[in-house]
């Protein structure tokens, strides 16, 4: 493999070939009656990937644009000064640029284009390809000294039948001997490995596979990328994330670890050995004395508390920095002095920025973790620049924009303003937080979204929104699929409860749902809709219910237990038959933890309760129109689950409809499919609720 890798490198190309069709860029958006529409939703610029220049004066970020007619998206790069001035688009290409990094002291920008590493000047000029790796490159990080490149590429992990039997060269069968043969939306035939190369004058040489001969993936599928790696400031150590398991062990475990690879000695050390849950996203401090990472405690529990740990690389001491903070760490960064870590955490329904004192022992002192931001919005990322934090911020009423946050006075400034022109022409509905009493006398934060022209003297139909996950907060999220403002723009009041089993409200609230599908969290849903139905502006005879994934499970379950509350349902990618789901899904750790175990274990009371609450067991009580949607590339919850639900409704003569996407996975990512989904969604609910 090494020889092939070396022979595959470096024949730099000097020019970008403009051989693709029309370049996808920002399109004019038609806004009708000042209302948000499905079409407008897909033409907002999607802002991602903040990177700060070495002199901390310039921010580099990407914006993805959709072309509905071409049914494609494309990502371009922009720069803007820290004060928001001098915003420039520096690329205009037929394919997306990704994984951007400032190199050579900020004199150059390196990026991924067409599965290779390129570089250019900060203004986008002098664009050159600097790798020609035959297997393609998915992500990279240049070492701080600029002499080495770490990059991700795929290696073969599966022997095809035509390779085992050369005379059957047209055979397509997969011969499978173990679990995890598919994951999320792909049949696993390759796995990602980290590669190390000399980076000399813009070329790659002497390429080696850090995991040569190991059947393990790094980064971890399905969503891991270059953020699961980091260089030490002296360019001598690479920290990487891997779950070094295969087959059934891999399918049943979340026990990943952080490994440190010494590029001089080629030695690898597991620094989280004995820490049994997910260990992810290593980051060295600026002075190189510490390594921080996110860590979960328990093996098999993917929604365990996401903790912040640091390791003193000189003494070997590990410290749990967020022990007295009852919330997850969703993202983090060091400051340049290596004294503070800034984190993103969801607390009570919004995601904010906090400062953690990294050098003092963790205590319950309220000054140990200090809030930096507040307000009805979510931060999705955080980066540090002198005097500022920089992050992506969104809300239910606005997609991602790049914001700076002053560390002196806390002022938050939108410096990308990518979507301001469109947003200024759209009237969004009021988003209101309400505390609703549950059946066990708890207070539950529920977001209420009103139509843009809400009139309290009128009566409106309402939709109960059921969150997926299941352990995923109903925060100030923005989505092209489940956009609550879009629903409100069609004349519905949206009721979105943070029911039992979501993070952001303490670990006890988050963990209650495991082993209790169909239990208290369903009572929470009923508490929310029953309380809101008392309002004079909601017509209790026109209530609908919708959700995806676990939200789809919720819709199916509620359909058999709602006692005539609702007049129409829509379930996307939901679990209908829990027994079938246990054996159909790929990540067995999730099914084992959340359901309590296998359905054939009759002595396991938790598991038996889970399977007794399978929605398919209540089909005889279905009496309400129901629509089903699903993607056939969904290997987390197979499309057969949706087909079973639709077939059951049809056989019982219940008004029903099914929308199937042969080329979508657990989500709906293609622009035209997204618009089709929204048109059918509202056609269905308008038919039954208006």
670 has pLDDT over 80: yes
* 295 in a structural domain: no
Per the CB < 8 A criterion, the answer to whether 140 and 118 are in contact is: no
pLDDT bracket for residue 617 (50, 70, 90)? very high
**Beta pairing, strands 568-572 & 538-548:** parallel
* 533 in a structural domain: yes
pLDDT the model gives residue 206: 94
Question: Considering the entire predicted model, what is its pTM?
Answer: 0.94
pLDDT the model gives residue 6: 30
Question: Of 55, 46, 41, 5, which Cα lies nearest the Cα of 24?
Answer: 46
Between the CA of residue 336 and those of 245, 285, 328, 387, what are the distances in Å? Answer: 36, 8, 24, 11
* 332 in a structural domain: no
pLDDT tens string 364-392: 665 689 999 999 999 999 999 999 999 99
Q: What is the CATH number of the domain that holds 669?
A: 3.40.50.1820
Between the CA of residue 324 and those of 170, 363, 365, 472, what are the distances in Å? Answer: 59, 7, 9, 21
Q: Which residue in this structure is represented by tokens 């925060």?
A: 475
Distance (Å, rounded) from C-alpha 178 to C-alpha 400? 41
Question: Of 225, 646, 687, 686, which Cα lies nearest the Cα of 492?
Answer: 686
> Higher confidence at residue 27 or residue 625?
625
Q: Report the domain count for the chain.
A: 1
Residues assigned a catalytic role: 549, 634, 666
pLDDT tens string 473-498: 999 999 998 999 999 999 999 999 99
What is the average pLDDT across 27-51?
93
Distance (Å, rounded) from C-alpha 475 to C-alpha 397? 12
Helix (H) or strand (E) run with residue 444 in it:
strand 443-449
97 has pLDDT over 70: yes
The whole domain housing 651 covers 428-689
pLDDT the model gives residue 29: 84
What is the average pLDDT across 243-248?
96
Dihedral pair phi/psi, residue 619, rounded to 5°: -60, -30
Per the CB < 8 A criterion, the answer to whether 139 and 226 are in contact is: yes
Q: Evaluate the omega torsion of the peptide bond into residue 459 and state whether it is cis, within 30 degrees of 0.
A: no
Kindly tell me the number of DSSP H helices and DSSP E strands found in the chain.
14, 39
Question: Of 6, 1, 103, 102, which Cα lies nearest the Cα of 51?
Answer: 102
Strand order in the sheet with 279-284: 279-284, 290-295, 307-312, 318-320
User: With 0-12 CB in 10 A as exposed, 13-18 as middle and 19+ as buried, what is 38?
Assistant: buried
The share of the chain scoring above pLDDT 90, in percent, equals 92
Total Cβ atoms within 10 A of residue 592: 18
Distance (Å, rounded) from C-alpha 147 to C-alpha 201? 9
* 422 in a structural domain: no
* 434 in a structural domain: yes
* 609 in a structural domain: yes
363 has pLDDT over 80: no
Question: Of 474, 464, 482, which Cα lies nearest the Cα of 500?
Answer: 474
DSSP character string of 224-263: --GGGEEE-TTS-EEEEEE----HHHHHT----EEEEEET
**Beta pairing, strands 493-497 & 460-466:** parallel
Distance (Å, rounded) from C-alpha 4 to C-alpha 2? 5
Distance (Å, rounded) from C-alpha 638 to C-alpha 666? 9
Total Cβ atoms within 10 A of residue 672: 15
Average pLDDT, the chain: 94
- Strand ranges, E, within 296-430: 307-312, 318-320, 331-334, 340-347, 350-357, 369-371, 378-379, 383-385, 388-395, 398-406, 412-414
* 117 in a structural domain: no
**Beta pairing, strands 116-120 & 108-113:** antiparallel
* 45 in a structural domain: no
64 has pLDDT over 70: yes
Helical ranges in 112-215 per DSSP H = 161-164
pLDDT the model gives residue 160: 82
Q: Which of 150-159, 277-286, 545-554 has the lowest mean pLDDT?
A: 150-159
């Amino acid at each position: 493999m090494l020889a092939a890798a070396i022979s595959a490198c470096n024949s730099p190309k000097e020019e970008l070939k403009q051989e693709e069709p029309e370049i996808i860029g920002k399109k004019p958006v038609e806004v009708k009656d000042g209302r948000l529409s499905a079409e407008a939703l897909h033409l907002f610029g999607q802002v991602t990937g903040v990177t700060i220049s070495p002199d901390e004066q310039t921010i580099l970020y990407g914006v993805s644009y959709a072309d509905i007619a071409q049914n494609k998206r494309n990502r371009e790069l922009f720069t803007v000064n820290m004060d928001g001035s001098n915003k420039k688009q520096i690329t205009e290409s037929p394919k997306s640029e990704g994984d951007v990094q400032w190199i050579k002291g900020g004199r150059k920008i390196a990026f991924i284009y067409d599965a290779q590493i390129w570089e250019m000047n900060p203004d986008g000029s002098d664009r050159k390809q600097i790798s020609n790796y035959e297997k393609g490159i998915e992500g990279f990080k240049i070492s701080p000294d600029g002499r080495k490149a770490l990059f991700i590429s795929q290696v073969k992990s599966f022997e095809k039948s035509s390779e085992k039997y050369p005379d059957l060269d047209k055979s397509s069968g997969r011969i499978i001997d173990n679990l995890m043969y598919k994951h999320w939306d792909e049949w696993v035939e390759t796995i990602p490995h980290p590669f190390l190369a000399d980076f000399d004058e813009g070329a790659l040489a002497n390429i080696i596979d850090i995991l040569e001969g190991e059947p393990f993936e790094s980064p971890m599928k399905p969503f891991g990328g270059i953020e699961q790696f980091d260089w030490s400031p002296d360019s001598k150590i690479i920290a990487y994330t891997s779950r070094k398991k295969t087959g059934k062990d891999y399918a049943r475990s979340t026990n990943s670890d952080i490994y440190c690879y010494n590029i001089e000695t080629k030695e690898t050390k597991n620094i989280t050995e004995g820490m049994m849950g997910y260990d992810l996203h290593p980051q060295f401090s600026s002075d190189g004395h510490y390594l921080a990472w996110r860590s979960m405690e328990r093996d098999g529990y993917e929604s365990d508390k996401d903790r912040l740990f640091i390791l003193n690389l000189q003494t070997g001491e590990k410290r749990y920095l967020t022990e007295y903070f009852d919330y997850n760490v969703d993202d983090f960064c060091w400051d340049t002095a290596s004294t503070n870590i800034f984190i993103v955490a969801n607390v009570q329904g919004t995601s904010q920025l906090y400062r953690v004192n990294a050098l003092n022992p963790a205590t319950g002192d309220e000054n140990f973790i200090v809030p930096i931001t507040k307000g009805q919005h979510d931060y999705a990322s955080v980066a540090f620049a002198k005097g500022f934090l920089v992050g992506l911020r969104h809300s239910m009423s606005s997609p991602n924009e790049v914001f700076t946050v002053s560390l002196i006075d806390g002022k938050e400034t939108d410096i990308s303003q990518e979507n301001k022109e469109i947003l200024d022409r759209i009237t969004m509905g009021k988003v209101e937080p309400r505390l609703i009493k549950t059946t066990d006398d708890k207070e539950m934060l529920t977001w209420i979204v009103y139509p843009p022209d809400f009139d309290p003297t009128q009566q409106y139909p309402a939709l109960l929104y059921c969150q997926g996950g299941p352990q995923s907060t109903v925060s100030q999220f923005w989505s092209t699929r489940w956009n609550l403002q879009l629903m409100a723009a069609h004349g519905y009041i949206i009721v979105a409860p943070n029911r039992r089993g979501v993070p952001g409200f303490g670990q006890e609230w988050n963990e209650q749902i495991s082993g209790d599908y169909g239990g208290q969290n369903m009572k929470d849903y009923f508490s929310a809709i029953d309380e809101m139905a008392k309002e004079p502006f909601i017509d209790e005879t026109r209530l609908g219910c919708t959700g995806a994934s676990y939200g789809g499970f919720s819709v199916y379950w509620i359909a058999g237990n709602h006692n005539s509350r609702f007049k129409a349902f829509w379930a996307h990618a939901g679990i209908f038959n829990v027994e079938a789901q246990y054996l159909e899904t790929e990540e067995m750790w999730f099914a084992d933890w959340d359901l309590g175990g296998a359905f054939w274990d009759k002595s396991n009371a938790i598991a038996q309760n889970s399977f007794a609450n399978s929605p398919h067991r209540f089909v005889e009580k279905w009496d309400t129109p129901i629509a089903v949607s699903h993607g056939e590339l969904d290997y987390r919850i197979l499309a057969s689950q949706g087909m079973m639900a639709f077939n059951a409704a049809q056989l019982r003569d219940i008004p029903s409809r099914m929308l199937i996407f042969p080329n979508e996975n657990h989500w709906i990512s293609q622009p035209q499919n997204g618009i089709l989904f929204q048109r059918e969604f509202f056609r269905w609910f308008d038919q039954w609720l208006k």
